[in-house]
Amino acid sequence: MSDASAPWDPSKPILEISNLSISFFTRLREIPAVMDFSCAVMQGESMGLVGESGCGKSTVALAVMRDLGKNGRIVGGTIKFKGRDLTHMTEEELRVIRGSEIAMIYQEPMASLNPAMKIGAQLAEVPMIHQNMPKAEAWALARQIVADVRLPDPDRIINAYPHQLSGGQQQRIVIAMALMAKPALLILDEPTTALDVTVEAGIVDLVKELGRKYGTSMLFISHNLGLILDTCDRLCVMYSGEAVETGNVIEVFDKMRHPYTQALFRSIPLPGADKNSHPLVSIPGNFPLPHERPPGCNFGPRCDYFQAGRCDAADIAMSTVPEDDRHGSRCLKWTEIDWNAPITKRASKPKTPIGKVVLKMEDLRKYYAVSSGAFGGGAKKVVKANETLSFEAREGETLAIVGESGCGKSTFAKVLMGLETATSGTIMLFDENVKSTPIQQRNTDTVSSVQMVFQNPFDTLNPSMTVGRQIIRALEIFKYGASDAEREARMLELMDLVKLPRAFAERMPRQLSGGQKQRVGIARAFAGGAKVVVADEPVSALDVSVQAAVTDLLMDIQRENKTTLLFISHDLSIVRYLADRVMVMYLGHVVEMGTTDQVFQPPYHPYTEALLSAVPIADTKVIRKRIVLEGDIPSAMNPPPGCPFQTRCRWKSQVPGGLCDREMPPMVTLAGGHQIKCHLSADVLNSMEPVIKIAAE
Amino acid sequence: METLSWFGSYGSTLTTPVSALIAMMVMVALTNGLLSFASGNGQTALLRTGFLSMAFLFISFFILVFLFLKGGAGVNYESVLTTLLRIAAVLVAFGLFAALTSWILRQSLNDAPRLLARMMRLLWRALAAIAVLWLAATLIFNTEAERGILASVVLRFLPVWIALVVTFALSIRYKRKLGLYGKLFDSTVGMLGFALVMFWVFTAVFADIIITHDPISPIGRVKNPLPGTPLVDPAPGQYLYFLLGGDHLARDVFSRMVMGARRVLQIAPAATLFAFMVGITLGLPAGYFGGKFDTALSFIANLVLAFPVILLFYLLVTPEIRDTGIPIYLAAVLFLFPIIFLCVLLNSRYFTNPPRRNLYVGITLLIGLWAYSGLAFNLDPTGFWSMEPNLLNVFVSVVFVNAPTVFRIVRGIVMDLKARDYVAAGQTRGESPWYIMLWEILPNARGPLIVDFCLRIGYTTILLGTLGFFGLGVSPESPDWGSTIDDGRKLLSIFPHPALAPALALMSLVLGLNLLADGLREESLRD
């Protein structure tokens, strides 16, 4: 380690944050972002920081780097790194520490790399600046670290520019850069959120292994509890600027001692949850705004165990849970609550009957022509976004479409909505072929009966129009009602339907939270009495506690209106929870289709198997088989010959005669209508083991 | 009567304290600069930077002397040299003093920069206090002779000051309810810009009360009277002085400058608005649809932009071209865009409710076509809408030159915004492309467009000035700033005041518009 002068005892914590408070100063007021936060990270330990957006977890990380911007200031407490207080260091002292002893990895890999510098030069810069290493030696080290982060062909990579690498490769380079100076502490701020699940699994494995190899301590920030369980030794749950529970990962997961942690676990879909018999329990109310926090316990207003006069009396300090390993809870009543009591609020709901076929697609194809030449000339390339897509969806049914980015699920949605026209094949919507009818030529009935809920809550509403006005506009377009008053009344009914206060109709979208915006989006989609709703990852951008509420809302509306829901998602946990049937897509092909049980049980398509294994599950009782796919998803511009999945398939050797390299596998129908597009023989398929096992209690 | 002095009765007593204050400010600024040069590098580095900057000053001084000696044939070397040497001596003295102070400060104090900043603020306040005290004391006098030129000018602008104070008081009082406009009052730069702009706007509004003489007719027979010169034999009720002097036709410079504001502020914002209408109407579909339509329009826009602006103006305004009728045709095309824009805007929104749509579009068409016939062809039977041919030329040229830039800005923003989900939501409910462009995309592009609008009024003002300067402006005796500067140019070395007043006015308006745009941009980016 470069800093030999500082006397530091390795048995003491490498990072010790005590009573840290951070505020941001805006022109109106001081906004406290983090209050009274304490935690300690030992040598070689990895600490997880979990919480919903706005809870202050990233602020803590930035405070450790002393990079709070010009509005942010540390207003109290200390951050001790190797026994030295970072809060009182000058800029020069910090510069020595940053990058060499504390390194940080951000969410967006492309934003962390300089697009104008070669990878090797960016990596070599670190030891050249911090250790005055000669250039040749630094490049050699860079090459070695690139090999360490398991990138293929390191010699080519160090001479490449960032844009020549895929997202997963870029993130590996960012990790490599962080490791160049062999830092003692690595801060990872949502390092895999921008990546696909199968790529994420690879990165998580890498981080864990490197942590062991170099003995680096880690501060791992994530909103994903499953990921924290996979990567960390200890965790700290944050809520509204405070740490509410901290302790050993296993202990917190199995014996949580704070009502918020408990509510959080009840609101995420774990194996065993089901939309009808075991619905999720969402946390009531909203996340308090930083300047509107309640007195006493911040979680009080949303807590089932709230006791007026006691919980809201004064600020609550962290109290330790005896017997456990440094386990603490910021709750006054944790000794009084019966933590093993069954959930009382959970009410099972009737199953929606599945009706007649509403939507039927047959052999649908969508190709895009892309010209490669700079001046419109050159060879025309064809991107096959959708290939031979056939399925049907029935009234009241939820069909999940699962796949990673680039699999063609969004193109499929566009074709169905009429924003694009199909290249060939038929789309039968209520016995009417809409395949090649663009949306302008569809009649109002067809348009209003197929609607969409969008992914990004911050993008789904027009920021400069009131919420009510946007819903009324949809009603006007769908020719609902005879007068403005009638439409106004219907708009208010729709607000009730999505459980928003009627007063919100007058608000601008920026005054709403993400979950509330998503509710408005749903109200707008159902304005014309939609029969088929395409939900494009409607909850993936929302916080966990809000996800459950919005999912339930969608399910309730579906039950009431017998809507057919096409639920596009990459999150298999939520798909298992709410889908009746699942369709798995890879590079424009449907590789597997069947009921939810069929798809989540063996036999699997090899891709489904890998996908299932890649999704982290926040349950200590679940044992997952680790299958990490090599490499990245091939480009749709240049798909591999034969089976699209053959480049990453681990079962390829089981197929005789190199059939996978040559021929597109046929869709094989197994028992119960379960379809798999694979060359594997029935014997091999039947010999597959389940990826997820729930250990006996 | 005697010629007016600049500062009135108290002027002479003020000279000493004000010059002392200014000298101190220069010192502080120099010291501060040196300190920031050497920040964080220790004292040796500080001294090195101090000496380096001294050396730099010396070298540039000698280069200057050399150039003077070589260049000027009829120059009196000796006098030039002594003047330069004197300046150099003062500079060196200042510099050495500043280096020394900064060195001492650096050694004795930890936060010297903060101390210096506080000193600077204090000095500014002292200067401002002196100015305010002087003004208050001087304005009480009854006669121009005692008030002096500056105070008299300030007094003439009385309606403007009242209007400004009312505007600011109301705006600051309700700034939290006023959206982006209200946020402007959180930024000093924005407020300063807004004050400058509003000063000239109110001047244009109240021009009739402010002017002291008729801006077009000559007053008396003395040519180029200096600022403060009394009229030779004033008619009863006539203002007794040329406040800012007179020009070579003995017209009052002050009155011409004030009336010029009215001319400039009539044309520049209107022309900019038209340019925006044209640019938006074409830029929206170009960005939204893309493809061949976009390629063709962008090509034409680039073509117009690639042509030298001044040459284009010369071409458009020369009599030969004017006789071919090209400006009229251009006007016929360009003036059509606002009508198209408004009709499409209203139709796309209200087509679900035909009676209301017919009403709104009908009113728009009625007023629009009425104005169109008057402005483009001068055929308005009532004579309410009309534009003199000279003005029309200038107007059309300004719109024609500015529209392509606006087109490109709008096109770029649309290309970015059309990928948003709310646009897709509009498409999936079967909205027409024009509704999506005008009601979903355009309102969300307003931030950059408002900023550019402010900047562009500034450019247009300069452009109008340039046109006037080249004699291409409106009628020859028009008091607009560009023509006035051109008039004054011929005698600039002997009588600078006829050109200086409108030049300063032009500069302050454009500066105000730029500061306003800066403030708006900064504030629209904050929370």
* pLDDT tens per residue across span A7-35: 667 778 888 888 888 888 877 778 888 88
Residues B68-86 pLDDT 10s: 565 554 556 566 667 767 7
Alpha-carbon torsion angle A669, A677, A692, A397, nearest 10: -60
Rounded CA-CA distance A477/A463 in Å is 20
β-pairing verdict for A30-41 and A185-189: unpaired
Q: Looking at beta carbons, which residues of chain A come within 8 Å of B424?
A: 419, 452, 454
Tokens encoding A274: 């089901």
Whether B356 and chain A come into contact, CB under 8 Å, resolves to no
For testing the chain B interface, which of A24, A289, A460, A462 should be mutated: the one with the most B CBs within 10 Å?
Answer: A462
Nearest chain A Cα distance for residue B428, angstroms: 6
Nearest chain A residue (CA) to B348: A477
Give the residue, B115 or A560, on which the prediction is more confident: A560
Nearest chain A residue (CA) to B292: A376
Q: Looking at beta carbons, which residues of chain A come within 8 Å of B437?
A: none
CB atoms within 10 A of CB A444: 14
Torsion sign over Cα B20, B26, B27, B32: positive
For testing the chain A interface, which of B350, B352, B422 should be mutated: the one with the most A CBs within 10 Å?
Answer: B422
**Cβ-nearest to A459 among B420, B430, B527:** B420
Question: Which of these ranges, A138-147, A369-378, A675-684, B198-207, has the smallest mean pLDDT?
Answer: A369-378
Tell me what pLDDT residue B362 has: 92
Give the residue, A79 or A349, on which the prediction is more confident: A79
Whether B296 and chain A come into contact, CB under 8 Å, resolves to no
Tell me what pLDDT residue B409 has: 93
CA distances from A88 to A8, A63, A101, A198, B135 (A): 18, 12, 17, 42, 50
DSSP secondary structure string for all residues of A43-111: TT-EEEEE--TTSSHHHHHHHHHT--TTTEEEEEEEEEETTEEGGG--HHHHHHHBTTTEEEE-S-HHH
pLDDT band at A373, cuts 50/70/90? very low
Contact present, A383 and A371 (Cβ < 8 Å): no
Coil, strand or helix: which one is A265?
Answer: helix
Mean pLDDT for A37-44 is 86
φ, ψ (nearest 5 deg) of residue A177: -65, -40
pLDDT band at A374, cuts 50/70/90? very low
Nearest chain A Cα distance for residue B443, angstroms: 6
Tell me what pLDDT residue B43 has: 52
b/e sequence B212-244, b meaning 16+ C-beta within 10 Å = bbebeebbbeeebbebbbbbeeeeeeebebbbb
Contact present, A577 and A275 (Cβ < 8 Å): yes
**Cβ-nearest to A26 among B352, B353, B527:** B527
Torsion sign over Cα A487, A493, A499, A505: positive
Tokens encoding A604: 């699997």
Q: Looking at beta carbons, which residues of chain A come within 8 Å of B440?
A: 462
Tell me what pLDDT residue B283 has: 93
Which residues make Cβ contacts (< 8 Å) with residue A571, sequence separation at least 6?
Answer: A537, A540, A615
Which residues make Cβ contacts (< 8 Å) with residue B141, sequence separation at least 6?
Answer: B8, B9, B147, B151
Q: Looking at beta carbons, which residues of chain B come within 8 Å of A418?
A: 428
Question: Which of these ranges, A285-294, A502-511, B275-284, has the smallest mean pLDDT?
Answer: A285-294
Contact present, B374 and B384 (Cβ < 8 Å): yes
Whether ipTM exceeds 0.95: no
Nearest chain B residue (CA) to A526: B429
Rounded CA-CA distance B381/B362 in Å is 20
pLDDT above 90: percentage of residues in chain A: 0
CB contact under 8 Å between A451 and B430, yes or no, is no
Whether B430 and chain A come into contact, CB under 8 Å, resolves to yes
> What residues does A593 pair with on adjacent strands?
A583, A675
Nearest chain B Cα distance for residue A191, angstroms: 25
Nearest chain A residue (CA) to B349: A473
Q: Cβ-count burial of B447 within 10 angstroms (0-12 exposed, 13-18 middle, 19+ buried)?
A: middle
Q: Which helix (H) or strand (E) holds A625?
A: none
CB contact under 8 Å between B428 and A461, yes or no, is no
Mean pLDDT for B209-226 is 82
Q: List the beta strands (DSSP E) in A601-656.
A: 622-624
**Cβ-nearest to A463 among B430, B431, B444:** B444
> Number of A:B CB contacts under 8 A?
62
Tell me what pLDDT residue B476 has: 66
Rounded CA-CA distance A677/A589 in Å is 9
pLDDT of B284 strictly over 90: yes
Nearest chain B residue (CA) to A416: B428
pLDDT band at A3, cuts 50/70/90? very low
For A37, left (φ over 0), alpha (ψ -120 to 50), or beta?
Answer: beta
From the list A196, A40, A217, the residue with the least C-alpha distance to A607 is A196
Contact present, B218 and B243 (Cβ < 8 Å): no
CB contact under 8 Å between A478 and B429, yes or no, is yes
Whether B110 and chain A come into contact, CB under 8 Å, resolves to no
CB contact under 8 Å between A419 and B40, yes or no, is no
CB contact under 8 Å between A465 and B443, yes or no, is yes
Mean pLDDT for A195-199 is 77
Nearest chain A Cα distance for residue B429, angstroms: 6
Tell me what pLDDT residue A344 has: 63
Give the residue, A615 or B61, on which the prediction is more confident: A615
Coil, strand or helix: which one is A492?
Answer: helix
**Cβ-nearest to B422 among A440, A462, A478:** A462
Coil, strand or helix: which one is A458?
Answer: coil
What 8-state DSSP symbol labels residue A11?
Answer: T
Residues A664-695 pLDDT 10s: 888 888 877 888 888 888 788 788 878 777 76
pLDDT mean across residues, chain A: 82
CA angle A675–A393–A382, rounded 5-degree value: 70
pLDDT band at B276, cuts 50/70/90? very high
Rounded CA-CA distance B135/B349 in Å is 55
Rounded CA-CA distance B420/A539 in Å is 17
Contact present, A564 and A532 (Cβ < 8 Å): yes
CB contact under 8 Å between B428 and A474, yes or no, is no
Mean pLDDT for B418-439 is 88
CB contact under 8 Å between B425 and A521, yes or no, is yes
Q: Residue B35 carries which side chain, given as an amino acid letter?
A: L
pLDDT band at B413, cuts 50/70/90? very high
Whether B354 and chain A come into contact, CB under 8 Å, resolves to no
Tell me what pLDDT residue B106 has: 63
Place of tokens 């050495």: B96
Whether B422 and chain A come into contact, CB under 8 Å, resolves to yes
CB contact under 8 Å between A439 and B428, yes or no, is yes
Chain A interface with B: residues with Cβ < 8 Å: 26-27, 92, 417-419, 439-440, 442, 444, 447-448, 450-452, 454-456, 459-465, 474, 476-479, 521, 524, 528
CA angle A680–A686–A690, rounded 5-degree value: 110
From the list A676, A693, A691, the residue with the least C-alpha distance to A582 is A676
**Cβ-nearest to B428 among A92, A419, A455:** A419
CB contact under 8 Å between B421 and A479, yes or no, is no
**Cβ-nearest to B443 among A92, A452, A464:** A464
Q: Which helix (H) or strand (E) holds A451?
A: strand A450-453
Whether B323 and chain A come into contact, CB under 8 Å, resolves to no
Q: Residue A18 carries which side chain, given as an amino acid letter?
A: S
Whether B424 and chain A come into contact, CB under 8 Å, resolves to yes
What 8-state DSSP symbol labels residue B244?
Answer: T
Highest mean pLDDT among A4-18, A313-327, B137-151, B244-258: B244-258
Strand order in the sheet with A102-105: A102-105, A185-189, A217-222, A46-50, A234-239, A242-248, A327-329, A319-321
